[in-house]
Amino acid sequence: MPYTVDFNSVSTVGLESSPVAAALAGLRANEARYFKNKYDHTFTVEPASSAQETIDWVHRILKEERDIVISSRPLEATEIHLENIRWVYVFYESGLSINVLYTVDDPKKRAVGFKLSDGMEIPEELASKFKFARQKSRLAGMIRGSYFTFKNGY
């Protein structure tokens, strides 16, 4: 069942099994606030069991572009289409959030972003491949993030 993320009242609904559930909920709420403020879009997520096709798409991009296989279990995902952009988010039990920005008509503007919830270690599969910058968030505490761009079609 889809869950509407409320950034005014941060909740761990759907994320309870994560050891950093509160921080991951803050990270998810931070994304919800961004989409509400920038696009007036309500951010909803669905359980991973209902979003397997979306999660498989993200995992395919990671594997084919950088030979990355995420070891953590996905908890939730969402897919958003705004203007000419397809946004996909997957939230993992470890506290990792992966988003794919995929412009439909411009292969020069496609990227995969990684965000680490406050308190989580950098996953082994990402540690040697990326440097993570820090960003402070009122909702999520200290977020560490990185990204890579790609041009292939998926």
pLDDT over 80 (residue 27): yes
In the chain, % helix, strand, coil (3-state, to 5) comes to 25, 35, 40
Q: What is the pLDDT of residue 128?
A: 92
Show the tokens assigned to 38.
Answer: 């920038």
Residue 33 resides in a domain: yes
Give, in order, the Cα–Cα distances in Å from 28 to each of 3, 5, 67, 86, 93. Answer: 12, 7, 26, 18, 13
Q: What is the pLDDT of residue 41?
A: 96
User: 48: domain range?
Assistant: 3-149
Residue 51 resides in a domain: yes
What's the total number of domains in the chain?
Answer: 1
Residue 72 resides in a domain: yes
Residue 109 resides in a domain: yes
Q: What is the pLDDT of residue 129?
A: 93
pLDDT confidence of 39, banded at 50, 70, 90?
A: very high
Question: CA-to-CA distance for 79 and 89, rounded, in angstroms?
Answer: 7
Residue 137 resides in a domain: yes
Residue 40 resides in a domain: yes
Percentage of residues in the chain having pLDDT higher than 70: 99
Degrees to nearest 5, angle at CA 94 with 90 and 98 = 25
Q: Taking residues 93-103, what's their average pLDDT?
A: 96
Give, in order, the Cα–Cα distances in Å from 84 to each of 25, 65, 104, 116, 132. Answer: 28, 22, 6, 27, 28
Q: What is the pLDDT of residue 137?
A: 76
Q: Which segments of 84-127 does DSSP mark as H helices, in order?
A: 124-127
Residue 154 resides in a domain: no
- Give yes or no for a contact between 59 and 69, defined as CB atoms under 8 angstroms apart: yes
Q: Taking residues 127-148, what's their average pLDDT?
A: 86
Question: CA-to-CA distance for 151 and 154, rounded, in angstroms?
Answer: 9
pLDDT over 90 (residue 142): no
Residue 44 resides in a domain: yes
Q: What is the pLDDT of residue 29?
A: 95
